[in-house]
Structure 1
Amino acid sequence: MNDKKLIVQSLRDGLLKGNAHVTFEEAIRNLPAEKRGEVPENMPYSIWQLAEHIRITQWDILDFSRNPHYKEMKWPHDYWPKERAPKNEDAWKKCMHEIKEDLHAFIALLEAPDANLFEPFAHGDGQHLFREALLIIDHNSYHVGEIVALRRLLGVWHG
């Protein structure tokens, strides 16, 4: 296996597997619907808000990585939902679906035959595909850990 394939496989594993921690799918598995919008005492957000934040941020990184006409979002306003709970089951399912689909779309960028992992994007200030992959891995794992902690505080973690 050449170096590029090995690097891409390692990034893919980091994006999809838990390695030293649980995956997003494991963190939300069997989460009771009524707990999605509950905010534990002394915590600033709900599991729904964390999931939506993961979705929004991951989409933004994907858009930045493939769109030379990328429009920067406002931090933190555009990255965090105000609603503590999903409007309904469909909103929850849509969020879960988009997280998965956008993650696979990002992996497709990495796996593209002509992908240059270290070439800076023309529209950025030095960012490249490898860096953005690490950013998604780091960001998602951080917030997945918060989801697990919230589930523990809510008494609904059985991991």
Structure 2
Amino acid sequence: MSTEHEIIVDEIVKLLRGGSAHIGLKAALDGLPADARGEKPDKLPYSIWQLVEHIRIAQWDMLQFSLNANHKSPKWPDDYWVKETAPADDKAWEDSLKQIENDLERFIDLFKKEDIYKKIPHGSGQTILREALQIADHAAYHISEIIVIRRLQGNYK
């Protein structure tokens, strides 16, 4: 029999990885043509590349904050959004996606082993639970924007 704590941890890990009620990033990007990564649809302020990078930067920041008392967050909002609308090349795209995946798994490892309710000592009241919910909520929000852009581009199933 699982404890209530184990049930909460398992459900939040599912939420972090995507699925259930929210599609994950990999599924949202599946089949995306390379030339569509940097396209900015009319009247939208960002491209899919800029959204992917924003997810990467914000998630990295939340992970580092959770791990490191000496971490300095990027300047909001300027350093959370890249100016370039498209990745420099396929390697930049793949590196960004790999960092998102790796950082997420590092956070999940931390989430599974830490007291998720204990306040982060160098924070202002944040807990690992709060950071997990923020990572999941933030990613879900921007993944939905990626899907909208793909629909506007006509390349989403």
Q: Normalised by the shorter chain, which TM-score bucket? A: over 0.9
In structure 1, stretches of 5+ residues that fail to align are none
In structure 2, stretches of 5+ residues that fail to align are none
Give the CA deviation at 1:19. 1.4
Are residue 111 (structure 1) and residue 112 (structure 2) matched?
A: yes
Equivalent-residue separation in structure 1 for 2:39 and 2:146 (angstroms):
12
Query: What is aligned with 1:149?
Result: 148
Give the CA deviation at 1:97. 0.4
In the alignment, residue 7 of structure 1 is paired with which amino acid? Answer: I
State which drifts further: 29-38 or 63-72.
63-72
Give the CA deviation at 1:135. 0.0
Query: What is aligned with 2:19?
Result: 18
Q: Normalized against structure 2, the TM-score is what?
A: 0.97
Query: What is aligned with 2:133?
Result: 134
Give the CA deviation at 1:23. 1.1
Query: What is aligned with 1:27?
Result: 28
Superposed CA deviations along residues 65-119 of structure 1, whole A, max 9, x for unmatched, are 111112122110110000000000000000110110000000000111xx11111
Equivalent-residue separation in structure 1 for 2:35 and 2:106 (angstroms):
31
Equivalent-residue separation in structure 1 for 2:121 and 2:74 (angstroms):
18
Give the CA deviation at 1:32. 0.1
Equivalent-residue separation in structure 2 for 1:80 and 1:20 (angstroms):
27
Query: What is aligned with 2:86?
Result: 85
Equivalent-residue separation in structure 2 for 1:97 and 1:61 (angstroms):
17
**RMSD over equivalenced CA pairs, Å:** 0.8
Q: Normalized against structure 1, the TM-score is what?
A: 0.96
Give the CA deviation at 1:21. 2.8
Equivalent-residue separation in structure 2 for 1:54 and 1:65 (angstroms):
16
Equivalent-residue separation in structure 2 for 1:110 and 1:157 (angstroms):
33
Q: How much identity, in percent, do the aligned residues show?
A: 46
Equivalent-residue separation in structure 2 for 1:72 and 1:4 (angstroms):
30
Equivalent-residue separation in structure 2 for 1:137 and 1:49 (angstroms):
18
Query: What is aligned with 2:7?
Result: 6
Give the CA deviation at 1:18. 1.9
